[in-house]
Structure 1
């Protein structure tokens, strides 16, 4: 059974490994440079007001962070283990992140997804996010390819 709780410093190595593996695979995150554990901790634990991890037993199988972008809006990022995927981890994370975002006082959550990340676009749509706008050629991949960024919104 998947359990979700707030992220702790002890989770940083596992979360860093998850996101760095996804970065290495390419094409499904705008992050292109791997994180050090210190940089990950600075970004997710120190900057994001909402951070959660999904656990199967004691193993971290995913995490979400929601960053304050102003005007009562949080911007979410979701990452789950691609080496040993656990079905339902993303949905379980979002239930807690949604509750925490409401407690934070957010009125909306947005997801900024590159248009070539079809899995991410589908995931957020399944959670109830709706297309809000498209930023044309907003992101350039390492190979020079320009991709749009799709902004999806979830109203609380």
Structure 2
């Protein structure tokens, strides 16, 4: 799979495809805290909200189809030295190296942005997400219990940390 996989910085023209991709993941449920559909405008707004402190990367196949994307950026609940990370990989494409390739692009970008560590905030019922971040070297450091999602569902979350130094 990784042979015809291309990872590059995401840009505004990717917003529609990324939103469509993310909506498919949201509809399936269980791997993201997001529960409402997103639009290309939402994605563009997120991508441009703090460009000096964020990095977005997209993974696509040889035909330009989005197979995943990853972002790091600031989060209100984290210190300035920490970036929050989100990773989205196409259903039924996990375990094929897409997330690994995205992370190899994200780590140097996070360093260039001046971050000292990356935080992953993962639903505890998201076994593939927990496994992914642990396999990248993230270490558990905290948890959040009883987090209410937009749709009213209550979940617990594991906080994991990856030191960049």
* Aligned ranges 1:60-139 → 2 under 5 Å: 60-69=66-75, 70-82=79-91, 85=93, 87-139=96-148
**Pairwise CA distance, 1:141:** 7.0
Unaligned runs of 5+ in 1: none
Alignment correspondent of 1:51: 56
Deviation of residue 102 (structure 1)?
A: 0.6
Distance 1:10 1:80 in 2: 19
Q: Which runs of 4+ in 1 moved over 6 A?
A: none
Q: Is the 8 Å Cα contact of residues 139 and 149 (structure 1) preserved in structure 2?
A: no
**TM-score w.r.t. structure 2 length?**
0.86
Q: Deviations over 1:97-146 (max 9, x none)?
A: 0110011110000010111111111111111111010111123473x542
Q: Which has the higher strand share?
A: 1
In the TM superposition, residue 94 of structure 1 has moved relative to its aligned partner by 0.4
Q: In the alignment, which residue of structure 2 is the partner of 1:7?
A: 10
Instruction: Give 5+ residue unaligned stretches, structure 2.
Output: none
How many corresponding residue pairs?
A: 154
Distance 1:60 1:45 in 2: 20
Question: Considering only aligned residues, what root-mean-square deviation do their CA atoms show, in Å?
Answer: 1.7
Q: CA deviation at 1:67?
A: 1.5
| 1:38 alignment counterpart | 41
TM-score (norm 1): 0.91
